[in-house]
Chains A and B, each alone.
Chain A
Amino acid sequence: MSTPHSTAEVFNELDPHGFGGYTKHAHHVVSGTVLKVILGILLAFTVVTVGAAQFEKWIETSLAIQLPHWVNVFIAMSIATVKATLVLMYFMLLRYSNPINTIVFLFCLLAFALFLFFTLLDLSTRGAINPIKAHQVEAGGIGGITAGWRTGPDAILISQAPVVFWRERKITEVGQKRFDEMKAILSHGGHGSTHAPEGSTGNRSLNRPGLTEGLFSATAPAAHGSGHDAHGSEHGAQPAPAHNAEPAKH
């Protein structure tokens, strides 16, 4: 493209400092082959990320090896990052355009990283603090929210976990036997996944940092006092007053 102010010898009053030379650069036209190759690589990586997830499931179910949670996340996020970089560089043309655009985007990612870092820092140290506070948490329901979409005078108020409320309602409606039949069909299997997720077992414990174990759990409801022992030993904290049924008043 032509810039009328590029001749340096002649003084140009529209461009007295001769900046024209810095700002003009032809638009880069990416070759069609490059675009097609990038699309191919992106599709291939989609196959890889699905394959990796299936492979991890296969390891866990067939070989009975429990992979740590971060393996799943790390592999999937690494592949996604590579894909995102390709899109940014070749489809969004960061490789060819003004570097200031890349700088803007990287600073944005830096802000995101800080955001996530401090959140995770807080989360991962919750367990160290909460045993002290644990006896202040009381199992007392969820304060009467309305169930389902209904509002107004005929809305049903519930003070249990919604999961428990709707399960018990269904059991009353169709009977336990029918409920079990339906559950066998509806839970896990029809929709792609054949992997039944497991909760904590005697051999493996999925930690749930920050709350008294099983306090609000629908599957393994635990009394307030009994959760303490697990917490105390886990973090080596002070033994909690397990016999004290009444929460301490502050």
Chain B
Amino acid sequence: MTTLDSRSNPLGQDVQGSEPLWKRYLPGHHWRSGEEEFDACTLGFWLFLATEVLLFAGLFCAYTVLRYKHPEAFANGSSYLDWRWGALNTVVLLISSYTMAASIRAFQLNHQKQGRMLLATTFICGLAFLLIKFTFEYTPKLSGWFISFDPALHHYASLIDKEGMWGLFKHVEGYGGKAPGQFFSYAFSEDAWEPLWWSVYYCATGIHALHVIIGMSLIAWCFRRARMLAYGPSHYTMVENTGLYWHLVDLIWIFLFPLLYLIH
């Protein structure tokens, strides 16, 4: 089987005996060494990361233009976001970046179990990021439905008009409708351009969240392969590139957090 990173000695076990998979890995026949293959793969991945940065560059540019033209709308819109959720998510992503880097180090040193544990931690951090984003930010803002233990609820206690899923969710009258563009239906807005702010907010954080999901899938793939002992000191290209992707996701969030949550 030849998949993303599973090329191994075609003679396989007969010749190599019980060597782990990473020791049996052979670089493509057109490379002089595994080093060269690794360098080329990494360079290719950096070129891909450049296109990713340019994708987000469009969004940052839109943000710049629209904020420049409608500073009040952006200050207004940003004040609906709770910086504490943003800061918590920043911390979660920074920790996940650390565990990702540490897991690459573990595979370089052939600490298999530690490497797998760190990969799993990274995955869980990504999951936590998404859960926080969807539960405490997207859902209430779009629909007005809060999860019952959301600390913001006590402020809106007098406006709760419905309960859902046996009291797990509570609906605050008038809170929802902070949707992008023409889907906007929030009645208490203070600036005519606020729908634009929500368009930028959902585009930027939504595309970022999509990257988190893709990154988590790659990490899950790495975890599965790592259990087969596919990565070790002489071959860990897939983990390295997954790490690069994950750090890029972190990098984008480092800029999105102050731009969206801390402006006034």
Q: Do A and B bind each other?
A: yes
How far in angstroms is the closest Cβ of chain B from A12?
A: 10
Question: CB within 8 Å of A: which of B83-130?
Answer: 83-84, 87, 90-91, 94-95, 97-98, 100-102, 105, 108-109
- Are A209 and B101 in contact, CB atoms less than 8 angstroms apart? no
How far in angstroms is the closest Cβ of chain B from A106?
A: 10
| Chain A residues, CB < 8 A from B75 | 197
| Chain A residues, CB < 8 A from B177 | 148, 166
Q: How many residues of A contact B (CB 8 A)?
A: 99
In the complex, B234 has a CB within 8 A of chain A: yes
- Are A186 and B87 in contact, CB atoms less than 8 angstroms apart? no
| Chain A residues, CB < 8 A from B34 | 1
Q: Given A80-B254, A147-B185, are A43 and B83 also a contact pair (CB < 8 Å)? A: no
In the complex, B164 has a CB within 8 A of chain A: no
In the complex, B214 has a CB within 8 A of chain A: no
| Chain B residues, CB < 8 A from A4 | 33
The answer for the CA separation of A189 and B19 in the assembled complex, in Å, is 62
Chain B contact residues: over half helix, strand or loop, or mixed? helix
| Chain A residues, CB < 8 A from B87 | 46, 50
Q: Given A1-B33, A146-B182, A186-B156, are A91 and B247 also a contact pair (CB < 8 Å)? A: yes
The answer for the CA separation of A164 and B69 in the assembled complex, in Å, is 20
- Are B185 and A190 in contact, CB atoms less than 8 angstroms apart? no
Chain A contact residues: over half helix, strand or loop, or mixed? helix
Q: Given A105-B50, A108-B53, A169-B187, are A88 and B72 also a contact pair (CB < 8 Å)? A: no
In the complex, A128 has a CB within 8 A of chain B: no
Q: Which of B42, B46, B97 has the most CB of A within 10 A?
A: B46
Residues of A at the B interface (CB closer than 8 Å) are: 1, 3-5, 14-15, 19-20, 23-25, 27, 29-30, 32, 35-36, 38-39, 42-43, 46, 49-50, 53, 56-57, 60, 69, 72-73, 76-77, 79-80, 83-84, 87-88, 90-92, 97-98, 100-101, 104-105, 107-109, 111-112, 115-116, 119-120, 123, 145-149, 161-164, 166-167, 169-171, 179, 182-183, 185-193, 195-200, 206, 208-211, 216-219
Identify 28 residue pairs between A and B in the complex whose beta-carbon atoms are under 8 Å apart, listed by A's number.
Answer: A24-B35, A30-B105, A32-B105, A53-B264, A77-B255, A84-B255, A87-B251, A88-B247, A112-B54, A112-B57, A115-B57, A115-B61, A123-B65, A145-B182, A148-B183, A163-B194, A166-B184, A171-B187, A183-B188, A185-B156, A186-B174, A186-B175, A195-B79, A208-B71, A210-B69, A216-B192, A218-B191, A219-B190
